[in-house]
């Protein structure tokens, strides 16, 4: 009984889909909407919807349709969903990819199907090298890590301990922070790696503190930053003369307010702040908040927004041609003014090139923000030649 109606329902789907295929360009958005990384998915989804709302759903004579799917942060689901989107929904572009393994699992498939993959979150450097159809609008972790080290060296920090989460992006951050520190004549006293699922950070922080560095450099995935920073303060490390420096993932705009005053004064390097001072950003933040009460856009949201922009601009350039290779070709070298500031898709590596800002957490109008005070202009991924 169930089986029969199931089959009937399934048989009906392809006809509906193919009838609309001519005028519609479908974008498959795969993000984690459930599970541990769900905040990433929700930010991206909200930003993508905002982009559609602001820019209309028609571009170059085609109607844009975004098909949102949840992968729960599980790699084999991401791949299966991507495959279904390509085969059944006939999407022209895949987008999203909340975590490195999710992007890595899908990369061979996208290459086989020649469908562009717009990476809106995953930040390990090697992702874009997986196939020639990957374009990234989020960030590459060596960027903030290198920027942070550069700033630390210039500001007289001679010794540091790195504290990162033990997976691809964390190791990227650790490697590039240490490299730039050494080049600047400073020392990394210890490199600590924490497991991805680690409820209590206290022992790691204590260990880092026992090495008595001038600064502690932290990278944890978006969502865990609050716990680290709070325990840093709770242990009195902020008063012991150790500076907490971090990538922007730790002082995530979405969660910064919930982290409380302990975050005040934390210096970090990132590519996007909701407090970025530009007309484009003010409009973006205002519209985002209006459309999603209770949320504040973070770097995930801006990557989703810019990802949509890259897809729209590429469609304009190809005059609506949805051939995968043509779309990727059109995205290469695109540059525009994003809410984060100027950005560009590197024509060689298809990776993101943008300003890196050194920011400090401050209270502005009763909310906590990352306030930018120094800029490293148009930084490429340092890990790529």
Partner 1 sequence: MLTILFDGIAYGMILFVLAVGLSVTLGLMNVVNLAHGAFAMAGGYVGVVLVNRLGVPYLAALPLAAVAAALIGVVLERTLYVHVYGKSHLDQVLFTIGLVFMASSAVSWALGSQQVFIELPGFLRQRFEVFGVSMGAYRLLVIGVCGALAVGLQVLLSRTRFGSRLRAAVDDPVVARGLGIEVGRIFLLTFALGSGLAGLGGALGAEILGLDPNFPLKFMVYFLIVVTVGGASSIFGPFLAALLLGVADVAGKYYLPAAGAFVIYSVMLVVLILRPQGLFAPRSGR
Partner 2 sequence: MRAAAQAALADLGRWRWPEVAFWVAAWGSWLLLPEQHLLLNEVAILGLFALSLDLVLGFAGIISLGHAAFFGCGAYVAGILARLGWGDPVLGLLAAGLVAMGLGFVTSFLVLRGSDLTRLMVTLSVSLVLFEVANRMAWLTGGADGLQGMVVGPVLGWFAFDIFGSVAYAYSLVVLFGLFLVARRVMHSPFGLSVRAVKGNALRTAAIGIPVNGRLVAIYTMAAGYAGVAGGLLAQTTQFVSLDVIAFHRSADVMLTLVLGGVGYLYGGLIGALVFKWAQSWLSDLTPEYWQFWIGLVFVALVVIGRERVFGWPAAVLRRIAR
Chain residues in the site for partner 2 (CB under 8 A): 2-3, 6-7, 10-11, 13-14, 33-34, 38, 41-42, 45, 68-70, 74-76, 79-80, 83-84, 86-88, 100-101, 104-105, 108-109, 112-113, 124, 166-168, 195-196
The smaller minimum CB distance to partner 1, of residues 36 and 130, is found at 36
Using DSSP's 3-state secondary structure scheme, residue 213 falls into coil
Contact 353, 334 (CB under 8 A): no
Under rule CB under 8 A, residue 260 binds partner 1: yes
Please say which residue, 123 or 315, places its beta carbon nearer to partner 2.
123
Question: Is residue 42 part of the contact set for partner 1 (CB under 8 A)?
Answer: yes
Q: What element of type H or E holds 6? A: helix 2-20
Selection from partner 2, partner 1, none that 173 binds (CB < 5 to 8 A by kind) is none
Q: Bin 292: left if φ > 0, else alpha if -120 < ψ < 50, else beta.
A: beta
Residue 318 binding partner per list partner 2, partner 1, none, with a CB distance cut-off of 5 to 8 Å that depends on partner kind? none
Min dist. Cβ of residue 88 to partner 1 (A): 26
Of the residues 80, 114, 158, 230, which one makes contact with partner 1 according to CB under 8 A: 230
Tokens 């490697």 locate to: 175
Nearer to partner 2, 71 or 346 (CB): 71
Token pair listed for 41: 């998915």
Nearer to partner 2, 5 or 240 (CB): 5
For residue 134, the partner it binds in partner 1, partner 2, none, with Cβ less than 5 to 8 A by kind, is none
Q: Using only C-alpha atoms, what is the Rg of the chain?
A: 21
Which one of the spans 61-69, 83-91, 219-227, 321-329 is the region binding partner 1 (CB under 8 A)?
Answer: 219-227
Measured distance CA(1)–CA(257) in Å, rounded: 52
The packing angle between helices 38-55 and 299-317, to 10°, is 40
Residues 265-294 binding partner 1 (CB under 8 A) are 294
**CA–CA distance, 178 with 149 (Å, rounded to integer):** 8
**191 touching partner 1, by CB under 8 A:** no
- Residue that is written with structure tokens 């400090």 in the block: 360
When asked if residue 211 is in the footprint of partner 1 (CB under 8 A), the reply is no
Choice from 233, 267, 275, 334 touching partner 1 (CB under 8 A): 233
Nearer to partner 2, 60 or 111 (CB): 111
Which of 83, 126, 132, 223 contacts partner 1 by CB under 8 A? Answer: 223
The string of DSSP letters for 41-110 reads: HHHHHHHHHHHHHHH-SEETTEEEEEEEEE-TT-HHHHHHHHHHHHHTS--SEEEE--SHHHHHHHHHHH
Q: Is 171 in the site for partner 1 (CB under 8 A)?
A: no
Query: Using N-to-C axis directions, what is the helix angle for 279-291 and 38-55, rounded to 10°?
Result: 110
Closest by CA to 151, choosing from 119, 113, 184, is: 184
Residues 259, 308, 311, 328: which binds partner 1 (CB under 8 A)?
A: 259
Q: How far is the CB of 224 from partner 1 (least distance, A)?
A: 7
Non-local (6+) Cβ contacts of 329 within 8 A are none
Tell me the HSE value of 265 on the side-chain side, using a 13 A CA sphere: 11
Q: Binding residues for partner 1, per CB under 8 A?
A: 34-36, 38-39, 42, 192-195, 197-200, 202-204, 206-207, 223-224, 226-227, 230-231, 233-236, 254-255, 258-260, 262, 294-295
């Amino acid at each position: 009984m169930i089986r029969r109606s199931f089959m009937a329902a399934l048989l009906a789907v392809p006809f509906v889909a193919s009838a609309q295929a001519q005028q519609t360009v479908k974008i498959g958005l795969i993000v984690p909407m459930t599970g541990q990384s769900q905040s990433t998915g929700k930010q991206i989804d909200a930003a993508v919807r905002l982009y559609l709302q602001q820019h209309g759903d028609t571009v170059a004579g085609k109607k844009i349709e975004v098909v949102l799917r949840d992968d729960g942060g599980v790699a084999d689901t991401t791949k299966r969903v991507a495959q279904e989107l390509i085969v059944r929904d006939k999407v022209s572009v895949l987008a999203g990819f909340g975590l490195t393994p999710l992007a890595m699992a899908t990369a061979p498939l996208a290459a086989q199907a020649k469908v562009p993959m717009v990476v809106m979150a995953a930040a390990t450097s090697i992702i874009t090298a997986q196939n020639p159809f990957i374009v990234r609008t989020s960030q590459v972790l060596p960027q903030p890590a290198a920027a942070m080290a550069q700033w630390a060296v210039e500001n007289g920090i001679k010794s540091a301990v790195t504290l990162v989460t033990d997976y691809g992006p964390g190791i990227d951050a650790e490697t590039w922070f240490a490299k730039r520190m050494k080049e600047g004549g400073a020392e990394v006293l210890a490199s600590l790696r924490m497991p991805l699922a680690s409820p209590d950070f206290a022992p790691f922080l204590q260990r880092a503190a026992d090495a008595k560095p001038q600064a502690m450099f932290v990278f944890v995935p978006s969502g865990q930053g609050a716990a680290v920073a709070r325990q840093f303060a709770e242990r009195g490390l902020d008063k012991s003369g150790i500076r907490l420096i971090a990538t922007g993932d730790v002082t995530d705009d979405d969660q910064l307010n919930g982290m409380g005053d302990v975050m005040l004064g934390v210096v970090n390097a990132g590519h996007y702040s909701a407090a970025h001072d530009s007309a484009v950003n003010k409009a973006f933040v205002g519209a985002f908040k209006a459309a999603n009460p209770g949320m504040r856009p973070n770097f995930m949201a801006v990557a989703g927004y810019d990802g949509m922009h890259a897809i729209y601009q590429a469609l304009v350039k190809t005059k609506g041609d949805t051939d995968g290779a043509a779309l990727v070709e059109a995205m290469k070298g695109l540059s525009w003014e994003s809410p984060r500031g100027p950005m560009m898709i590197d024509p060689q590596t298809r990776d993101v090139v943008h300003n890196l800002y050194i920011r400090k957490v401050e209270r502005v109008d009763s909310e906590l923000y990352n306030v930018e005070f120094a800029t490293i202009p148009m930084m490429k991924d340092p890990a790529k030649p």
